[in-house]
Amino acid sequence: MDSRAKAAGHAIHQQLVAYPLGLLTMAVLFDVIGLISRNGSFTVAGFLMIAAGVLVGLLAAVFGLIDLLAVPTGTRAKRIGWMHGIGNVAMILLFAISWLLRVSAQNNTPATLALILEILAAVVAFGTGWLGGELVGRLGVGVDDDASLDAAASLTTGISFKHAQGAIKGPHIGKGPGPFGTGAQSPS
């Protein structure tokens, strides 16, 4: 099932999720290092990574929801998609609460509760990451309808919305002659 929100031919949600996952995972690691070494530079970095990870995670969620709403009702993909989305919202909330608990702490050092929330959120992220992998790798959500091992490159960009008459799509680039495709695709 093709993604409904694309940039340069790829699902925007899939392009964005690497950032919050990387930032938030590294935040936990930096906080643990900071607590063990008693070096506040690490905990300040962890604090800032949580802020960035939460913000980019919320942005990724918008594009994930656009794709999720296009998944047919009653399918395994829809059920897995909702578990993935709700789990990620819970994970973002846990990190956000952890961040708020340390705003006024010296060197933004996490107290016990803030650290526990971070670790719990990281565990949730592993589970929701697996669900995201299941959606893409096993169920084909967000995979281009024309995908194959020899498919031409596509630079399709835009957001499409399903409605009674079909889909309204953004500009299509990349199916023309040249290094990236084989012909201009008309909107469908």
pLDDT at 78: 95
pLDDT at 162: 52
Cβ neighbours of residue 70 closer than 8 Å, sequence gap 6 or more:
1, 4, 162
How far, in Å, CA of 72 to CA of 68, rounded?
9
pLDDT at 143: 79
Question: Which residues, in sequence order, are bridge partners of residue 11?
Answer: 6
In which band, very low, low, confident or very high, does the pLDDT at 34 lie, cut at 50, 70 and 90?
A: very high
% of the chain at pLDDT higher than 70: 85
Structure tokens at 110: 């996490």
User: Can you state the angle between helices 18-37 and 40-70, rounded to 10 degrees?
Assistant: 160
Q: DSSP state, 184?
A: P
How far, in Å, CA of 167 to CA of 188, rounded?
7
How far, in Å, CA of 58 to CA of 75, rounded?
25
Q: Pairing relation of β-strands 10-11 and 158-159?
A: unpaired
- Judge whether residue 37 has pLDDT over 70: yes
- Judge whether residue 188 has pLDDT over 80: no
pLDDT at 164: 32
Summarize pLDDT for 47-105 with one digit per residue, the tens: 999 999 999 999 999 999 999 999 999 999 999 999 999 999 999 999 999 999 999 99
Q: Is 142 helix (H, G, I), strand (E, B) or coil?
A: coil
Structure tokens at 68: 């999720």
* Residue appearing with tokens 């990451």: 129
How far, in Å, CA of 1 to CA of 175, rounded?
19
In which band, very low, low, confident or very high, does the pLDDT at 178 lie, cut at 50, 70 and 90?
A: very low
Structure tokens at 123: 């565990």
User: Can you state the angle between helices 76-101 and 40-70, rounded to 10 degrees?
Assistant: 150
pLDDT at 181: 42
Q: Are 85 and 41 in contact (CB under 8 A)?
A: no
